[in-house]
A and B are shown apart, each in its own frame.
Chain A
Amino acid sequence: MATKIQEPISIPMTVSVPYRFAAGSYLTKCLIGLRDHGTLFAVECPKCKRVQLPPRIVCATCHVRNERWVELGLEGTLVAFTIMYLPLTDPTTGKPHNPPFVYGTVRLDGATSVLDHFINVEPDLEKIRVGMRCRMILRPQAERIGDLSDILYFDPIPG
């Protein structure tokens, strides 16, 4: 009897897991400000003076309580960026981002920390550069839900 070579068994499976995430008192204050008033608040460490975003209760470097709240402007500077060509899925919604799209790291004026978000420019290297000034654009207030998706993107500031 001829021996038939068997393909090894390999079974595809999917796991989907529901989560609920508690933002905590500091981030809640920041996100409610963003949602209800279109403001962005960071905290400043009393010791090292780093202005930290998202706001957190303890400064990781100094191990002291952050107590001073600082309102940031909505403008900043692009520190790094990429043009993404992969059809990445947004893990928070399960919906695909639409490539190619540009996202980057922005340091808001007055902040030590940075924020990663979409940059509203064409995926064209002539139109993007590190050091470019940009402004945060929010969703209309009625559509905001209290997370970073309330920020639509950063618009480049001409000049």
Chain B
Amino acid sequence: MKRNVAIIGGGQTFHAARRHDVDQAEMVNEAVRAALNDARMTMDEIDLVILGNMEFFEGTHMTDCWLVHGTGAYGKQGLKITTGGTVGATAVVTAAHHVASGLFPRVLCIGFEKQEEGDTGAILSGVAHPLWGRSLAGAAVGYFAMMGSSYMAAWGATEEHSAMVAVKARQNARKNKYAHLKLDIGIEDVLNSRMLSWPIRMLDMCPASNGACAMILADEKTAKARCKKPVWIRAMDTAHNEQFELDWRDVKTTRPIFSRTCAKRIYRKLGVQKPSEYFDVFEVYEPATWSELVWYEDLGLCAPGEGFRLIEKGVTEIGGAIPVNPSGGVLSTNCIGASAMLRVWEAALQIRGDAGEHQVPKDVRRALTTAYGGTNWTVMTALSRTLDD
């Protein structure tokens, strides 16, 4: 990047299914205050505020306007981001671009969702073409179920493998005090949980969470002057698929799809030869168990068709050679507009060594995070501890 950009602070709410104690602005403000405290800054020092959530998921529009007391954006420059599951990551990318432009040295970005207040499934049906697919739309679960059926048919994985992902996520979440689903479960619990859409069971799916995450990004001068442990944003990339076209519903597709295209580009930017060695930790966007296995392959952590072998061998556990989602991931916490930002913030905490109980034991110098929006595009962000990494 032309100008270096660092994460100099961040924070999140405790994530839960019920937050009747706060309204949306109050909830967002919890994360904003946590981020300002972490960066030891006041709102006066922020040049621009970027807010992200999904339009109408809470039955509201233009949250940038009416949550202004919670976000701190009153009288400031700012904008609103709405890009599906990628919202939080797009907010980070947008903040980073504004800092890198040289025009805004200190930018606050926020992602939130208060899922209990709306009908996410109903609003999501608007993602589908009204005449070509909407009648079967309305739940992400069916999509991920088809990914699972395709994956099993293609590579010979079983439902036990997806259950291993479910167990890893919730056991990791037990170490993360902010996570929503902290469940002491085993493979049998997953296989005995209610079938939603074969092969997806209740415990194969993310919860509907309420929560927010906020981060402060700054230029190199501010970061070095103000922050003891800045985390540097080294590369970002995004790629779209085409609506209607096959993606992960045919895991054997050889056509270039968004996730693999994006990974290839970000690796090229950074000169990454072997991603499993270059990065010390990964935070991927996995609303369903099967998607984590597919991410392993699309990110090149293993060959196509071998993702389920990684989980089988425990390679992606917190203490494994390639830790993936030590935070518990989206499977444990899904406050949609915040979920993709949580990937970046959790990766930053790992690099700072501040993740607490879910800190991976090895030295973390570099991290890669992913997100997807709808199911047809991705945002990836690569972080490092120093500008030499």
A-to-B contact residues, CB < 8 Å: 7-8, 10, 13, 15, 19, 21, 23, 27, 31, 52-54, 60-61, 79-86, 88-93, 103-105, 107, 112-114, 116-118, 125, 129-131, 147-149
B-to-A contact residues, CB < 8 Å: 20-21, 59, 121-122, 125-126, 128-139, 141-142, 145-150, 153-154, 194-200, 242, 244-246, 249-250
In the complex, chain A residues whose CB is within 8 Å of the CB of B122: 89, 91
Query: Is A79 within 8 A of B198, CB to CB?
Result: no
Query: Is B244 within 8 A of A113, CB to CB?
Result: yes
In the complex, what distance in Å separates the CA atom of A13 from the CA atom of B154?
45
Query: Is A31 within 8 A of B131, CB to CB?
Result: yes
Distance between A143 CB and nearest chain B CB, rounded to angstroms? 15
Take A53-B244, A80-B150, A82-B149 as given contacts and tell me if A116 and B198 are in contact as well, using a CB distance cutoff of 8 Å: no
Query: Is B139 within 8 A of A27, CB to CB?
Result: no
In the complex, what distance in Å separates the CA atom of A80 from the CA atom of B136?
14
In the complex, chain B residues whose CB is within 8 Å of the CB of A81: 146, 149
- 8 tightest Cβ-Cβ pairs between the two chains A and B: A82-B145, A130-B153, A91-B125, A80-B146, A80-B150, A83-B198, A60-B242, A8-B20
Distance between B107 CB and nearest chain A CB, rounded to angstroms? 32
Query: Is A92 within 8 A of B198, CB to CB?
Result: no
Query: Is A86 within 8 A of B244, CB to CB?
Result: no
Query: Is A116 within 8 A of B136, CB to CB?
Result: yes
Distance between B195 CB and nearest chain A CB, rounded to angstroms? 5
Query: Is A91 within 8 A of B135, CB to CB?
Result: yes
In the complex, what distance in Å separates the CA atom of A31 from the CA atom of B129?
14
Query: Is B244 within 8 A of A21, CB to CB?
Result: no
Take A79-B250, A83-B198, A105-B246 as given contacts and tell me if A92 and B59 are in contact as well, using a CB distance cutoff of 8 Å: no
Could you pull out 5 A-B pairs where Cβ atoms are within 8 angstroms?
A: A8-B20, A31-B131, A91-B137, A113-B246, A114-B245
Chain A residue with minimal CB distance to B244?
A113
In the complex, what distance in Å separates the CA atom of A107 from the CA atom of B134?
18
Distance between B227 CB and nearest chain A CB, rounded to angstroms? 37
Query: Is A84 within 8 A of B142, CB to CB?
Result: yes
In the complex, chain B residues whose CB is within 8 Å of the CB of A131: 153
In the complex, what distance in Å separates the CA atom of A38 from the CA atom of B343?
48
| Interface majority SS (helix, strand, loop, mixed), chain A | loop
Distance between A117 CB and nearest chain B CB, rounded to angstroms? 7
Distance between A142 CB and nearest chain B CB, rounded to angstroms? 20
In the complex, chain A residues whose CB is within 8 Å of the CB of B196: 85-86
What total of A-B pairs shows CB separation below 8 Å?
A: 114
Query: Is B147 within 8 A of A54, CB to CB?
Result: no
In the complex, chain B residues whose CB is within 8 Å of the CB of A10: 20
Take A10-B20, A13-B59 as given contacts and tell me if A61 and B242 are in contact as well, using a CB distance cutoff of 8 Å: yes
In the complex, what distance in Å separates the CA atom of A116 from the CA atom of B246?
11
In the complex, chain A residues whose CB is within 8 Å of the CB of B146: 80-82, 104-105
Distance between B261 CB and nearest chain A CB, rounded to angstroms? 12
Query: Is B244 within 8 A of A79, CB to CB?
Result: no
Query: Is B249 within 8 A of A105, CB to CB?
Result: yes
In the complex, chain A residues whose CB is within 8 Å of the CB of B141: 86
In the complex, chain B residues whose CB is within 8 Å of the CB of A19: 130
Chain B residue with minimal CB distance to A19?
B130
Chain B residue with minimal CB distance to A103?
B136
In the complex, what distance in Å separates the CA atom of A149 from the CA atom of B133?
10
Query: Is B131 within 8 A of A86, CB to CB?
Result: no
Interface centre among A85, A118, A149 (most CB of B within 10 A): A85
Distance between A42 CB and nearest chain B CB, rounded to angstroms? 11
In the complex, what distance in Å separates the CA atom of A79 from the CA atom of B199?
15
Take A81-B149, A82-B146, A84-B142 as given contacts and tell me if A92 and B250 are in contact as well, using a CB distance cutoff of 8 Å: no
Query: Is A88 within 8 A of B133, CB to CB?
Result: no
Query: Is B135 within 8 A of A148, CB to CB?
Result: yes
In the complex, chain A residues whose CB is within 8 Å of the CB of B129: 54
In the complex, chain B residues whose CB is within 8 Å of the CB of A84: 142, 145, 197
In the complex, what distance in Å separates the CA atom of A31 from the CA atom of B135?
16
Take A13-B59, A125-B198, A130-B153 as given contacts and tell me if A79 and B132 are in contact as well, using a CB distance cutoff of 8 Å: no
Chain B residue with minimal CB distance to A92?
B135
Distance between A21 CB and nearest chain B CB, rounded to angstroms? 4
In the complex, what distance in Å separates the CA atom of A114 from the CA atom of B246?
7
In the complex, what distance in Å separates the CA atom of A92 from the CA atom of B198?
24
Query: Is B150 within 8 A of A79, CB to CB?
Result: yes
Query: Is A88 within 8 A of B150, CB to CB?
Result: no
Query: Is A89 within 8 A of B131, CB to CB?
Result: no
Interface centre among A52, A80, A113 (most CB of B within 10 A): A80
Distance between B200 CB and nearest chain A CB, rounded to angstroms? 8
